[in-house]
Amino acid sequence: MSDLFACTTTTGEKVVSVVPTIPDGAPDVIREGIARRRLVATGQRCPCGARLVGPNRAQRRRAAKLKTGTVRDVFVWHEHDCPASTEALIEAVREWRDSA
């Protein structure tokens, strides 16, 4: 399951983010990681300082040539020790899956 959030990036792009819901029974580290991602998706900062960053000028120029409503990339760079980082979540999900 997932939720949709609408917010504005650091570069003023209006975006809609699709973020997973927190799975029932998930370990605390996964719950925290997803909660932080949900926080950033609403336009707030992660406790590690990460925030939703829009495309750079070149990417915006390319995107302007596309039809509206197309999928565009936005970026969030969490600190490596943040539970919301992709690497941390992959490892946590792997451990959770292997312990089942």
Interface contacts to Zn ion, rule CB under 5 A: 46, 48, 50, 78, 82, 84
Which of 34, 46 has the CB closer to Zn ion? 46
Which of 7, 48 has the CB closer to Zn ion? 48
> How near is the Cβ of 78 to Zn ion at its closest, in Å?
3
Q: In angstroms, rounded to a whole number, what is the distance separating the alpha carbons of residues 72 and 79?
A: 23
Residue carrying structure tokens 């039809």: 67
Q: In angstroms, rounded to a whole number, what is the distance separating the alpha carbons of residues 53 and 48?
A: 15
Which of 22, 48 has the CB closer to Zn ion? 48
Q: In angstroms, rounded to a whole number, what is the distance separating the alpha carbons of residues 9 and 15?
A: 7
> How near is the Cβ of 18 to Zn ion at its closest, in Å?
18
Which of 51, 54 has the CB closer to Zn ion? 51
Give the helix/strand (H/E) hosting 89. Answer: helix 86-99
CB of 33 within 8 A of CB of 89? yes
> How near is the Cβ of 3 to Zn ion at its closest, in Å?
18
> How near is the Cβ of 46 to Zn ion at its closest, in Å?
3
